[in-house]
Structure 1
């Protein structure tokens, strides 16, 4: 009987995790499909967004969000969001933007290695 209860608990737990991941993925897709595309960067005490970044944002119709000196808890989620923006930029602007974006953007170097 205890084995059956354990199996049921494991099943319910995995179902809850899958539902949460699906909700996160849907939220990410909504963000990607919105008019405002956001690229997330880790900063510090001073902002890391430069004039070149602002020119990049204007040219490619994106915006940058600097977390400042407090990194987000769900770091990987923001890397995934950035990855989707990178795919969007490739699809809509070719590969030229890759030479213009700074390599310190969350997940960019990891994404470039996979492409």
Structure 2
């Protein structure tokens, strides 16, 4: 009887933990820890509701000022993380943020990311470009200029 109860409680525990993980990554995800309050107050959470690229730039500048600059991704059904994402985030003081398969308007995301890229260039020089993910929205076009 003890064995059966142990198995049942184990299954319930695993189910609850899996549910918490699904809920935590349901809307937007990232590799390092960003507090819910920081995430909810970030420009990324507001990008879906804006229509002008200038507004995206302003939100990026506000995130930089608040110490929570993000590099935005629009991936597939499941967010993709790279092995060195956390190291990059810690080294350069930014966060990767993946909207999944749906996200804000492409041009607004590009405007946000370019603003963050300019900040990284100003603060760290161009070395960060050798280490950043190549799937950041807008970077291929920006680096060609």
TM-score by length of 1: 0.72
- In the aligned structure 1, how far is the partner of 2:140 from the partner of 2:95? 19
**Corresponding residue for residue 81 of structure 1:** 112
Q: 1:91: which partner in 2?
A: 122
Aligned counterpart in structure 2 of residue 101 of structure 1, from 132, 135, 143: 132
Task: Extract unaligned runs of 5+ from structure 2.
Answer: 1-50
Distance in 1 between residues matched to 2:74 and 2:53, nearest whole Å: 26
1:49 aligns with 2:51: no
The alignment's C-alpha RMSD in Å is 2.0
**Which sections of structure 1, spanning at least 5 residues, go unmatched?**
1-19
Larger helix proportion, structure 1 or 2?
A: 1
Q: Do the aligned partners of 1:57 and 1:64 also contact (CA within 8 Å) in 2?
A: yes
Count of aligned residue pairs for this structure pair: 94
In structure 1, what is the Cα distance between the partners aligned to 2:134 and 2:110?
13
> Cα deviations across residues 73-92 of structure 1 (Å, max 9, x unaligned)?
x2211111100111011111
Q: Distance in 2 between matches of 1:86 and 1:103?
A: 13
Residue 112 in structure 1 maps to residue 116 in structure 2: no
